[in-house]
């Protein structure tokens, strides 16, 4: 899932301070699970903004609400009229949600209430870890299920580098060396010999370097069009 983290209230205030009527709009899926931008955090941000507004003598009105997702129109379309009552929507969805909603909110600007951080997993309550870089060209079958793109600080395809030390990365001793983990894991799986094969230079055009990506599932798309025609 997508993991986000809260922005500081100063940063948010500087974004929103010139607006009169602000809606903090929560997204109740990924960013709720990581306690960054669900209904509860939207309420927290709204309260903090009202308190800041009171401190500053601003007449700003701030409320909060939320829907299940900002990245699918069916979730927010029913409340679109309500959304348009505001001068500003501060979306606490991930960047996807902010982009998507912004393109559909007419004259109402949509600003980001959180920072979208990474694709991650929940190790335990309150502990989120980045495990995938979304590079568009997955090699996990070659690397023991450990992503070198995002878990290696240098995104090396043929690691480790000389900076590995006691299983840790030279960037920080708090970071595991991904290639150390890969080797250990592949030993365990009995597939260490696969590492003898040198991986070619990667085609990064599948990643964010080749412009915005889009995936269209033809059979779903066609069915939708047929139904529209019928």
Partner 1 sequence: MSGGSLENQGAHFERVKALKETRPYSPCRAACPVNTDVQAYVGFIAQGRYAEAFEVIRSVNPIASVCSMICHHPCEQACRRCSVDEPLAVRPLKRFALEKAADYRRNKRKLVQKTKNKSIGVIGSGPSGLTAVNDLADLGYQVTIYERHPVLGGMLASAIPPYRLPRETLQQDIDDVISKGVEVKTNCEIGKSITLKDIMAKHDAVLVAVGLSLSRSLPIPGVEGPGVLLAIPFLEDVAFDRKPALGNRVLVIGGGNVAMDVARSARRLGVRNVEMVCLESAEEMPAWKWEVDEAVEEGITIHHRWGPKAIKREGNTVKGLEVEKVLSVFDKDRRFSPTFDKNQTTLIEADTIIITIGQMSDMSFLKDSPVQVDERGRAVWDSKTHMSSAKGVFFSGEVVTGPGSAIAAAASGHRSAVAIHLYIQGEQIEGNLPSYDKEKISQLPEDVIAKINRAPRIKLHHLPPETRCSSFVAFESGYDEMEALEEAGRCRGCGGGAVVDKNKCMACLTCQRICPYGAPVVTSFSEIRPEFCQACGLCAPECPGQAISMVSYDVREFRDTLPSLVGAVDSKRNEPVIVAFLCSHHVGAPGFTLPDNVRKVPVHCTSRIDVNDLLKALECGADGVAVVRCSGDSCKYKGIGVRVNARVVHTKQLIGMLGMEPGRVEILTADSHNGNAYNTVCADFSGRIKQLGLIQRSNRL
Return the range that interacts with partner 1 (CB under 8 A); candidates 117-125, 130-138, 159-167, 216-224: 117-125
Q: Binding of partner 1 at residue 48 (CB under 8 A)?
A: yes
Q: How far apart are CA 84 and CA 102, in angstroms?
A: 12
Q: Binding of partner 1 at residue 116 (CB under 8 A)?
A: no
Return the range that interacts with partner 1 (CB under 8 A); candidates 38-46, 82-90, 166-174, 204-212: 38-46
Q: How far apart are CA 86 and CA 46, in angstroms?
A: 14
Q: Binding of partner 1 at residue 38 (CB under 8 A)?
A: yes
Longest CA span, the chain: 68
Q: How far apart are CA 141 and CA 154, in angstroms?
A: 20
Radius of gyration of the chain (CA): 22
Q: Judged by CB, which is closer to partner 1: 38, or 144?
A: 38
Q: How far apart are CA 173 and CA 44, in angstroms?
A: 34
SS3 216: coil
Task: Tell me how far the alpha carbon of residue 97 is from its chain's centroid.
Answer: 9
Q: Which two tokens stand for residue 176?
A: 């595991």
Name which of residues 120 to 179 contact partner 1 (CB under 8 A).
122, 124-125
**Nearest approach, Cβ of 116 to partner 1 (angstroms)?**
16
Q: Binding of partner 1 at residue 68 (CB under 8 A)?
A: yes
Q: Binding of partner 1 at residue 17 (CB under 8 A)?
A: no
Q: Binding of partner 1 at residue 70 (CB under 8 A)?
A: no
Binding site for partner 1 (CB under 8 A): 8-10, 28-29, 32-33, 35, 38-41, 43-44, 47-48, 50-57, 59, 66, 68, 122, 124-125
């Amino acid at each position: 899932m997508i993991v986000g983290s809260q922005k500081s209230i100063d940063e948010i205030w500087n974004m929103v301070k010139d607006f009169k009527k602000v809606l903090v709009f929560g997204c109740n899926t990924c960013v709720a699970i990581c306690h960054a931008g669900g209904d509860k955090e939207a309420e927290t941000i709204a309260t903090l903004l009202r308190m800041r507004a009171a401190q500053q003598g601003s007449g700003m009105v701030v409320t909060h609400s939320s829907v299940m997702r900002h990245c699918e129109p069916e979730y927010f379309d029913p409340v679109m009229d309500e959304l348009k009552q505001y001068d500003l929507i501060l979306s606490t969805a991930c960047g996807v949600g902010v982009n998507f909603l912004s393109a559909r909110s007419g004259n109402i600007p949509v600003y980001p209430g959180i920072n979208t951080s990474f694709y991650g997993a929940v190790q335990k309550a309150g502990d989120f870890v980045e495990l995938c870089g979304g590079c568009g060209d997955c090699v996990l079958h070659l690397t023991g299920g450990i992503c070198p793109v995002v878990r290696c600080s240098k995104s090396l395809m043929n690691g480790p580098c000389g900076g590995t030390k006691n299983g840790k990365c030279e960037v920080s001793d708090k970071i595991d060396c991904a290639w150390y983990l890969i080797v250990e894991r592949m030993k365990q799986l009995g597939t260490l010999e696969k590492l003898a094969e040198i991986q070619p230079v990667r085609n990064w055009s599948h990643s964010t370097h080749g412009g915005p990506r889009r995936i269209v599932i033809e059979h779903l798309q066609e069915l939708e069009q047929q139904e529209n025609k019928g």
